[in-house]
Structure 1
Amino acid sequence: MKKHKILYTSDIHGNEVQYSKLIQYAIKVSADSIIIGGDIAPKGGAIEDYIEYQRNFLEYRLPEMLQPLKKYLPNSNLFLMMGNDDCAANMDVLENSKLFKVIHNKRIKLTEDFEIVGYSFVPITPFGIKDWEKYDLSKVPATLKKKYAERKLTNYRLNGIKSIKTRWKIFQFDSGMEVQDSIQKDLSRKIFSKNPKKTVYIIHSPPDNTKLDIVSNRNHVGSMAVRLFIEKEQPYLTLHGHIHETVDISGTFKHNIKNTLCLTSGNHNVGEQLAVLVFDLYNPQDVRRIII
């Protein structure tokens, strides 16, 4: 009987205690694949130092912490991607690493039966860093028009900054971008629509109106495009993050959209406790959420 043990978490935000716990636990249970679904680098400090601060972490500290995996789990996979608090200008550091595979916008073989694909972008947020934000929908279904208009009015901050090499650039979303460039348009590409029944999707934003996208004021802030994609394609499994507090509020880390199981780690980067999902790829319904 085939088995493939996966550990999944997200939103560590450079918390070194949590990284250490993830690595130790992966070694302890002999994980076949470890997946980190976005927001990997530390945040905070002066904004003018933010890009370099994250770059130094990704270039030096992260590889140092991950070295034990190479020694004790040489045949295991480590997949990761950036999230909305990570500076896209530092992607070259990740792409050059031999310790892990970057999965954003890539389709990679996971086992002989399954592939993995990642997607880092989230709908526009109220926050200032816009590296990994996009309009959610280009074509809005009639049933979502009112809700989407309200979401844009209350949640969307259209001005902010993007990291370009070593500096910040002032950035402004405009309405023209909505038609040309959206999460919905990205997910319609073949890399995402190909063979969904044999693909594990790592999408930083959770789907809208689920147990996985509830923020502290009890509003749902997930991606409508992601939800529409899941409803249409019915993938084998989707893994999410982004909304740290949702599990505390909803009381669960699982949500089914038709026949698709959607999961979130619900990890908080503040504090030392790490939330990690543990499951067999060939039997994901028996997933456990463990606090280490």
Structure 2
Amino acid sequence: MGLFKRKQPEGIDKKSQLKILFTSDLHASDVAFRKFLNVGKMLKVDVMIIGGDLAGKALIPIVDLGNGKYEVEGTQVGRDGLENIAKQIKNNGNYYIIVDKKEYEDMLQDKKKVDEAFRTAIIERFKEWIQLAEERYKDVKIPIYFNLGNDDPTYMFDVVNEDSIFKPTEGFIIQFGIFEMISYGYVNPTPWNTYREKSEDEIYKELKSMVNKVRDPSKVILNTHAPPFGTNLDNAPLLDKNLKPVVKGGDIVMTHVGSQSVRKIIEEYKPLLGIHGHIHESRAFDRVAGTLVLNPGSEYSSGIFHGVYIVVEGDKIKAHQFITG
């Protein structure tokens, strides 16, 4: 993948108005992704963007007991019940693997086998999504741009072919007519030591290098997975040393967990728009140094789709609307 290469989507070369559907943190929820595809077509947008964290977080073993019986997390079902459970697992943003008793015991003893199964599941689900998008959008020219977030292994980039409807954004300046988009999926350190985390100094240096390549910062869409620090977009529960939420007076204590560097970049360059994710419970908009910043939030595990419809025109945001369903 090239560094700071410009890409121009077909059909958007002279647009001074741009209609965007943005979502983030789908975390492998099949139903949330399908809703995303439905909304994009319904609104007839110019471009669709997924701001990171496409991968799920759990792999659930389904043990084949033989004779048409299966065990899932302590519950036994027959073949008829298996299909419903598998569908529910996918809609909740998890993966599953069907194994016999010996394979299950082997996986309990060998973390490498679990990692391999997880990798296979992530790749297969992503391929399913790409195939579904290409089937649904074969008659319309709406590109789906995606970036990987902190919970996404980088090998997911390798799943996408050059001619796919899914188009990676990281390492590219995407040209949307008079607008440009730069994307960055790494986040400031978290308590969970996820795949893609960097220090604030590294984030600032790399973002600054990217912004310095654009033609006009005032017409830039800044697509960073981490939201700017100290805004409505980055409120999350304060955690204790055991990673449990701190509760005072019966209420969960909230704190700001976004990126100081992302905020600094916005303050210095004043891009047209900031689109962010990462903090699921902070569905919100705000302004940083005059720049509108948005986080659609996420309730992927409940099968709820969260997105934001944005109309950009000239040098301003003409409209933005949060969508939930």
TM-score with structure 2 setting the length? 0.69
Mean Cα deviation higher: 77-86 or 92-101: 92-101
CA deviations 1:116-172 (Å, max 9, x no partner) are: 11100001111133x3110112xxxxxxxxxxxxxxxxxxxxxxxxxxxxxxxxxxx
- 1:152 aligned partner: none
* Unmatched segments (≥5 aa) in structure 1: 138-181, 248-252
Counterpart amino acid of residue 281 in structure 1 = V
Pair 191,214 (structure 1): closer, same or farther in 2 beyond 3 Å:
same
Secondary structure, aligned partner of 1:12: coil
* Contact 1:193 1:233 (C-alpha < 8 Å) held by counterparts: no
**Structure 1 residue 22, shift from structure 2 partner:** 0.8
* Contact 2:35 2:305 (C-alpha < 8 Å) held by counterparts: yes
Pair 204,51 (structure 1): closer, same or farther in 2 beyond 3 Å:
same
2:88 matched to 1:37?
A: no
The percentage of aligned residue pairs carrying the same residue is: 28
- 1:73 aligned partner: 140
- 1:118 aligned partner: 183
Superposition RMSD on alpha carbons, in Å? 1.9
**Structure 1 residue 57, shift from structure 2 partner:** 1.9
* Contact 1:13 1:40 (C-alpha < 8 Å) held by counterparts: yes
More strand by share: 2
2:99 matched to 1:99?
A: no
**Structure 1 residue 69, shift from structure 2 partner:** 4.4
2:224 matched to 1:203?
A: yes
Counterpart amino acid of residue 230 in structure 1 = I
Pair 54,192 (structure 1): closer, same or farther in 2 beyond 3 Å:
farther
* Contact 2:312 2:318 (C-alpha < 8 Å) held by counterparts: no
Secondary structure, aligned partner of 2:271: coil
* Unmatched segments (≥5 aa) in structure 2: 1-14, 60-113, 239-253
2:267 corresponds, among 209, 214, 231, to 231
2:286 corresponds, among 222, 246, 255, to 255
2:128 matched to 1:64?
A: no
- What is the rounded CA distance, in whole Å, between the counterparts of 2:49 and 2:212 in structure 1? 18
- 1:151 aligned partner: none
Larger radius of gyration: 2
- 2:234 aligned partner: 213
- What is the rounded CA distance, in whole Å, between the counterparts of 1:72 and 1:204 in structure 2? 30
Counterpart amino acid of residue 183 in structure 2 = G
Secondary structure, aligned partner of 2:310: strand
Give the number of equivalent residue pairs.
239
- What is the rounded CA distance, in whole Å, between the counterparts of 2:163 and 2:302 in structure 1? 28
